[in-house]
Amino acid sequence: MTASQEVFKSDTANDDRSRVRLWLRLLRASRAIEGELRERLRTTYNVTLPRFDVMAALYREPEGMLMSQLSKYLMVSNGNITGLIDRLTTDGLVHRTLRDGDRRTSVVLLTKTGRENFEQMATSHREWVNELLSSFSPQEAETLAETLKVFASEWERETR
Amino acid sequence: MTASQEVFKSDTANDDRSRVRLWLRLLRASRAIEGELRERLRTTYNVTLPRFDVMAALYREPEGMLMSQLSKYLMVSNGNITGLIDRLTTDGLVHRTLRDGDRRTSVVLLTKTGRENFEQMATSHREWVNELLSSFSPQEAETLAETLKVFASEWERETR
DNA sequence: CTTAGATATTTTATATTTGAAATATTTTTG
DNA sequence: CAAAAATATTTCAAATATAAAATATCTAAG
């Protein structure tokens, strides 16, 4: 092996490690934040994080969402969404409609109760996130968010 | 409300949004990466992500880890670890020992099979992470990892 | 029109996950 | 020492999660 090859090999190994290090830190950060938000949602509003996530997704779409859209947006399996929506329906926070020409699909909407319920939680959620991410200045947050946006669009392009 | 108060309110609202935006992007990025790694571990090695995570933690600690250490390190509940270790034990990848003076604790270790098994997977895992995070240059990755390290230590200090 | 394929959702079986309660053990305190 | 508090783990019930198979419906090719 020549000297330049040696250098190259060494560099590659370093690159490997830096990306793995990034991934592990990213994972740990989101687990920590997620855990804290889960805990606060539970103790304050007696709601689970998955239920909050579903409601947040539906709140952004006043026209409602298909089961498959929810599944894709939240990056969880179809069967998972079915169960979550079943339970949210039982609790009167969500309802299914069939106002489509396609009888395979069902459009899921927040009920009035669900919407009001979510608005309360969303306010706390926003405050909590700001508290938990307070070590990022707004400018840093903006910059980092932009970096992740670029990552997301690259990801989209590559895994489509 | 005076003009300066108006400005202040508006700035605060913007800060709020930038941190929430950051959190949502962080969450989506890690879910996407996690999902892809899960899929590849399953199809390539027929192993689940939680099992891989446990094995990775144990691989770094040749002396073994307590159940409670695993639970804290992986940020999952105690009961969760019990079940995972039960199943990994059944499959001969892990074993519990009691070589402590404290009979409440049990030290968990990778078996020889478990260690060999993990080494195989770890190589692929490193390559996959590098592929999936290829949109970050090694320098960017380094920088971002450092930012998250600072975040983690702030977090430690504040939530201890 | 009719059948093959595609699409949307649910069902099923199994694994993971949580949070609370129970159990076992150790440590601390009076 | 004995009781109380703390610690480590397991058990339990309910919810969440996955992947694969089943079901229902729609679309399109012939």
pLDDT digits (tens, 9 = 90+) for A29-86: 999 999 999 999 999 999 999 999 999 999 999 999 999 999 999 999 999 999 999 9
Q: Would you say the C-beta of A83 is within 7 Å of strand D?
A: yes
pTM for the model stands at 0.89
The gap from C-alpha A95 to its chain's centroid, in whole angstroms, comes to 22
User: What pLDDT, on the 0 to 100 scale, is given for residue B4?
Assistant: 47
Q: What is the dihedral of CA B69, B74, B75, B81, to 10 degrees?
A: -70
Nucleotides of D strand lying within 7 Å of any protein CB atom: 7-13, 15-21, 24-27
**How close, in Å, is residue B78 to chain A by CA atoms?**
14
CA dihedral sign of residues A51, A55, A58, A60: negative
Over residues B72-82, the pLDDT tens digits come to: 999 999 999 99
Tell me whether residues B141 and A19 touch, CB distance under 8 A. yes
Residue A94 three-state SS: strand
Q: What one-letter code names the amino acid at B20?
A: V
B158 by Cβ neighbours in 10 Å (0-12 / 13-18 / 19+) ranks as: exposed
Confidence label for B13 from pLDDT (cuts 50, 70 and 90):
low
Helix and strand tally (H, E) in chain A?
Answer: 6, 3
Cα A54 to Cα A71: distance, rounded to the nearest angstrom: 9
Q: In angstroms, how far is CA A54 from the centroid of its own chain?
A: 10
Asked if pLDDT for residue A15 goes beyond 90, the answer is: no
Whole-number pLDDT of residue A14: 60
Q: Are B127 and A15 in contact (CB under 8 A)?
A: no
CB pairs under 8 A between A and B: 141
CA distance B134 to A154: 9
pLDDT score recorded for residue A16:
79
Q: Which candidate from B21, B30, B130 shows the least CB-CB separation from A16?
A: B130
Residue in B142, B148, B154 nearest the CB of A26:
B148
Question: Would the CB atoms of B14 and A145 count as touching at under 8 Å?
Answer: no
